[in-house]
Amino acid sequence: MAGNHIRIALAAGAACAVATTASADVVVMKNGDRLTGQIVSADGGKLVLTPAFDKTAKLTIPLDDVATFSTDTPVKLKLKDGSIIDQPVAQGAAGAVVPAAVAGPVQLADITQINPPPPPQPTWTGSVGLNGAYAHATTETATIGIAANATRAGPDDKIILAGAYNYGVQKTAWISDTNANNWFISGEYDRFFTKQLFGYISERTEADTVNFLTLRLTPSAGLGYQWVNQPDFHFSLQGGVAWIYEDYSTNPETTERFGAKVGYHVDKSWDRGRISVFHDLSLTPAFSGGEFLVQGDAGLKLQLTKKMFSSITLNATYDNQPAPGSEDLTAQLLFGLGYAF
């Protein structure tokens, strides 16, 4: 009776071992060795396998040493052309595998990744900063402002938002005079056709009551090109068409015109991002009438902590045909303290 029990236990154990082996992925090496377990992933010419004999371990195998493999469950194969096959695969001839529902084998040399990680989800990054200054002498001057920007970068597109408001007052002999009162909001959407070439649409809305600008709208669309896109250095060019709408309080009529728009953006950082500079410039000449608008800003940022920073920013706008009573060139230099997110 005891012998029967032993035989039954051995048979059950053998059946379990066979079932485990049958349900495992199999990697066949070029030297004829066979490894069983579960294929975890492959990238950069390395295949990672959890062996059946130790499910807490991971073996890293050069793909150049693999002849073929099979899986008992769907596996994601990313190919050189960017397509993904998500099916169980059977062993093929040396250097190939056979997906369950694909006509013909797939060459191992055409597989760039196995079970690639999901692409990172786009997240918003940006900053919010306060700026201001106070001076007291024969005149008393005070300025204050707030600026914010946010960027959402995905694998194929980008959203850029920005806005600012500045207010200043000057007092002389108990007479107060507003010497700054301006704001703007802007937005841009970029769609990348390649890693460098993209199309864009943008819009900027602004006002400056001290310079009699009630409202200016400058929507535009066109193409851009990223000449440099490195972690510490970016340089891009843009060109397209724009529509400019201006309403000045000193001009009884609003003006509207179409024009070309060209511009660039550059930024550079040092010391692992602790020091950075940036510069943006755009030129919008009207198609008729000889009027043109130049807008630009430049700045220096010093990272004080991981999130806090100080900054110096120069904003400037030049309109060669301003409304009566307003200046053709307006500029402001701002010193600020901000928080990055």
Answer for the pair 70, 107: CB distance below 8 angstroms, yes or no. Answer: no
**How many Å apart are CA 154 and CA 151, to the nearest integer?**
10
Answer for the pair 197, 225: CB distance below 8 angstroms, yes or no. Answer: yes
- Residue 314: alpha-carbon gap to chain centroid: 25
Residue 175, both tokens? 């007479």
Which residues make Cβ contacts (< 8 Å) with residue 35, sequence separation at least 6?
A: 26, 27, 29, 49, 51, 59, 61
Answer for the pair 318, 294: CB distance below 8 angstroms, yes or no. Answer: yes
Helix then strand count (H, E) for the chain reads: 1, 24
Which pLDDT does position 6 carry in this prediction?
34
Answer for the pair 94, 67: CB distance below 8 angstroms, yes or no. Answer: yes
- Which helix (H) or strand (E) covers residue 249, if one does? none
How is the chain split into domains, by residue range?
Answer: 24-114, 124-340
Which residues make Cβ contacts (< 8 Å) with residue 89, sequence separation at least 6?
A: 69, 70, 71, 75, 77, 97, 98, 99, 100, 106
How many CB atoms within 10 Å of residue 178?
Answer: 11
Side chain identity, residue 225:
Y
Question: In tens digits, what is the pLDDT along the chain, a chain of 341 residues?
Answer: 444 443 433 344 443 444 444 568 999 999 999 999 999 999 999 999 999 999 899 999 999 999 999 999 999 999 999 899 999 999 999 999 999 888 789 999 999 999 999 888 889 999 999 998 777 767 788 889 999 999 999 989 999 999 999 999 988 877 888 989 999 999 999 999 999 999 999 999 999 999 999 999 999 999 999 999 999 999 999 999 999 999 999 988 999 999 999 999 999 999 989 999 999 999 999 999 899 999 999 999 999 999 999 999 999 999 998 888 888 999 989 999 999 99
Burial of 182 (0-12, 13-18, 19+ CB in 10 A): buried
Superfamily of domain 124-340: monomeric porin ompg (2.40.160.40)
How many CB atoms within 10 Å of residue 185?
Answer: 14
Which residues make Cβ contacts (< 8 Å) with residue 150, sequence separation at least 6?
A: 124, 125, 126, 160, 161, 162
Burial of 86 (0-12, 13-18, 19+ CB in 10 A): exposed
Which pLDDT does position 167 carry in this prediction?
96
**What Rg, from alpha-carbon coordinates, does the chain have?**
32
Taking CA atoms, 192 is separated from 154, 230, 281, in Å, by: 10, 16, 21
pTM of the predicted structure, to 2 decimals: 0.72
